[in-house]
Structure 1
Amino acid sequence: MPNDPARVEIITGRERRRRYTANEKLALVDATMQPGMTVSAVARRNGVSASLLFKWRQLMSQGGQVAVKADEDVVAASRARDLEQRVRELERLLGRKTMEVEVLKEALAAAREKKPVWQLPSPPRDASR
C-alpha cells in the first residue's frame, strides 16, 4: 500500500547517480498527476527522490515537455566555470595571434614594395660614365 503511514523506509547508503530518459521522466511526472497519487508515493515506488520529481514537475510546468526532454549531460557548475574560463583564454590567444598575422602581413607587403639592394641596377663596370 503506497500511502501506508505505518510503513517505514530505511535508507542505508548512497546509490549511484542514474540518468533517466525523457520518456521515463514524462511517465513519472504523469504518474504524480494521477488522482490519489502523491509525489512521495510515486518516488518511493520507482526509487526516485521526491525532490527530483518535484523538480521535473516544476520544469515541466515552466517549460513544457522541452524541459523534461533535455537529456543533455549534467555538468557541475565548477566544471562549467572552468570550461568558460578556458574558452575566454583561448579567445584572447586567438585574438593575439590574429593581430600578429595582420602585422606580419603588413610588414611583408611593405618589404615587397621596397626593392632589395641586389635588384638595383648595377653601375657600369668600365670607367666611363
Structure 2
Amino acid sequence: MLMSDVEIITDGGRRRRWSGAEKLRIVEETLDERSSISVVARRNGVAPNLLYRWRRLMLEGGAVAVSNDDEVTSNRAVRQLEERIRELERQLGRKTLEVEILKEALDKARPKKPMWLAQSPVKDGGR
C-alpha cells in the first residue's frame, strides 16, 4: 500500500449545522429508489445514521419534524393523551361536585347558634 492511497480524515472539531431546506433536499434524494441511503449520505457528507434519522422523522412527521429536528408523536399517541385529559377533566368535575355537595350538607348539619336576646339590666324597682 502506497502512502498516496491513504486518505487522512481529520475532525474539524465542530459539528456541521444543516438548514431545514438542506435536510429536506438530502432526504428527498433517499426517496429515489435508484440510490441507497449510504451513497446519498457519502455524497452529501452526512453520517448514514443521521440520514436514516432524518428520513424516519420525515416519514413520521413531515418536513416540520426534519426541519426542527424534533421527535415525532404519532396520531395514535396524541389521541390517547387527549382521551386521558378528557377522563381526568371528568374526574375533576365529579370531585368538584362532591365537594360542593359535602359543603352544603355540612352547613345544614351544623346546629345553628341560638340567638340570645340582649336583655336590659333589671332595674331595682322593676320586679
Bin for the TM-score computed over the shorter chain: 0.3 to 0.5
Structure with greater contact order relative to length (CA < 8 Å, sep ≥ 6): 1
Normalised TM-score (structure 1): 0.45
Higher radius of gyration, 1 or 2: 2
Normalised TM-score (structure 2): 0.45
